[in-house]
Amino acid sequence: GKEVLLLMQALNTLSTPEEKLAALCKKYADLLEESRNVQKQMKILQKKQAQVVKEKVHLQSEHSKAILARSKLESLCRELQRHNKTLKEENIQQAREEEERRKEATAHFQITLNEIQAQLEQHDVHNAKLRQENIELGEKLKKLIEQYALREEHIDQVFKHKELQQQLVDAKLQQTTQLIKEAEEKHQREREFLLKEATESRHKCEQMKQQEAQLKQQLSLYMDKFEEFQTTMAKSNELFTTFRQEMEKMTKKIKKLEKETIVWRTKWENNNKALLQMAEEKTVRDKEYKGFQIKLERLEKLCRALQTERNELNEKVE
């Protein structure tokens, strides 16, 4: 309203219609320059959106790699558990066979052998004491003691191998956890960046709509002024014709600007759809990462709020 009043006051200060027409042309040139600046800003926003889409694809690729590595590590752990179970069963079976051979070798030391077997099954720390007791049994159990020592060495090697494998699994699990954590942090930063870009795009769209409304108001003002000038410039047909042509050109340019605004709005809606699709994909993935469920729900609520506000703005524009 203030700009219209200032324009009316400036036109009233001019004495001749030519000066008023020149002032109007200057005002139109300023509006055209503002429209060009808006178009430049639209191109910059489109480039940013393309970059965001590329980063999104890259993030999805990294996340897929992390999931694949985790599945491989889980299969390796299951295989290691099966192997350890098999070794344990073999150890128990061999211990039983050794106990039977000991019973067949002598009935005199049956109680001692049963105690050794029980201590072997309960805890490996008692192996040293059992070896000392076997040495005291004498030369008759020498072969049995040698077999037991070999068996103990084999068990120690098996347990060392198991500990090394367990350490390797723990290291791989820790590395995978770190990679997943980094991917999740990067996704969080990417999501905040997308939300910020969406807010800025919405703000730019609102500014363009306001500028479009202002242009329409100024066009209505020009039409009213044209009707007023029509009575005073009846004798100047050539000047009237020129002014009408300029008005028609200005109307065409405004229509062109409206079409470009519609194109830009369509691209903005497509980007919003892409954001919604990414949010849905994250919802499926976040079933595996329950810790991010609350944050994802907040993002979905924000996207729905943006969609509702965008629909309301579109209805107002229509």
pLDDT in tens, 120-175: 677 677 667 767 776 787 677 677 767 767 777 776 776 677 677 667 767 776 77
13 occurs within a structural domain: yes
Model pLDDT for residues 209-245, shown as the tens digit of each residue: 777 677 777 767 766 776 776 666 666 567 767 767 7
Distance CA 139, CA 135 (A): 8
For residue 233, what pLDDT is reported? 62
For residue 39, what pLDDT is reported? 92
For residue 45, what pLDDT is reported? 92
Domain boundary, last residue among 47, 62, 92: 92
The tokens describing 77, both together, are 């752990």
Helix %, strand %, coil % of the chain (to 5): 95, 0, 5
Provide DSSP, 7-43: HHHHHHH--SHHHHHHHHHHHHHHHHHHHHHHHHHHH
Domain total in the chain: 2
Distance CA 73, CA 5 (A): 74
Model pLDDT for residues 91-107, shown as the tens digit of each residue: 888 888 888 887 887 77
Residue-number span of the structural domain to which 60 is assigned: 1-92
Distance CA 210, CA 218 (A): 12
Domain boundary, last residue among 30, 59, 92: 92
58 occurs within a structural domain: yes
Cβ pair 66, 176 in contact under 8 A: yes
pLDDT at 37 over 90: yes
Model pLDDT for residues 13-32, shown as the tens digit of each residue: 877 878 878 887 887 788 88
312 occurs within a structural domain: no
For residue 44, what pLDDT is reported? 92
pLDDT at 260 over 70: yes
Out of 17-21, 55-59, 69-73, 201-205, which region has the weakest mean confidence (pLDDT)?
A: 201-205
Domain boundary, last residue among 55, 70, 92: 92
264 occurs within a structural domain: yes
Of 155, 202, 186, the closest CA to residue 282 belongs to 186
